[in-house]
């Protein structure tokens, strides 16, 4: 085993040992905090947009955002399916 692989394995193990385990008691709290963070982020993103600003930016960034959204959604769904089954 090379040095870089051994070092990477130690890093992954150290990270896994630091992360607190999620249990039934903490899951609702984590869910509420993540929902609140997502809601706030989407509000702040949408608060600064107008039709005039969207026209000035153009269609390419909008297309990039939609493609990125689809990619993240599909990846998240794939991870959820792999973890659950």
- DSSP result, 43-67: HHHHHT--HHHHHHH-HHHHHHHHH
Q: Look at residue 71 in the predicted model and tell me its pLDDT.
A: 95
pLDDT digits (tens, 9 = 90+) for 8-18: 555 555 555 55
Please work out, in degrees rounded to the nearest 5, the angle formed at the alpha carbon of residue 25 by the alpha carbons of 84 and 31: 60
Tell me the three state secondary structure of residue 13. Answer: helix
Q: Look at residue 18 in the predicted model and tell me its pLDDT.
A: 59
pLDDT digits (tens, 9 = 90+) for 52-65: 887 888 889 889 98
The span from the CA of 54 to the CA of 14, in Å, is 45
How far is residue 25 CA from its own chain's centroid? 23
Q: Is the pTM of this model over 0.85?
A: no
């Amino acid at each position: 085993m090379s040095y870089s692989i051994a070092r990477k394995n130690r890093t992954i193990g150290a990270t896994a040992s630091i992360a607190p385990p999620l249990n039934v008691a903490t899951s609702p709290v984590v869910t509420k905090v993540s929902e609140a963070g997502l809601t706030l982020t989407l509000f702040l993103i949408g608060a600064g947009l107008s039709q005039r600003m969207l026209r000035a930016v153009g269609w390419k960034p909008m297309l990039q955002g939609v493609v990125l959204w689809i990619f993240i959604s599909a990846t998240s769904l794939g991870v959820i399916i792999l973890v659950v089954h």
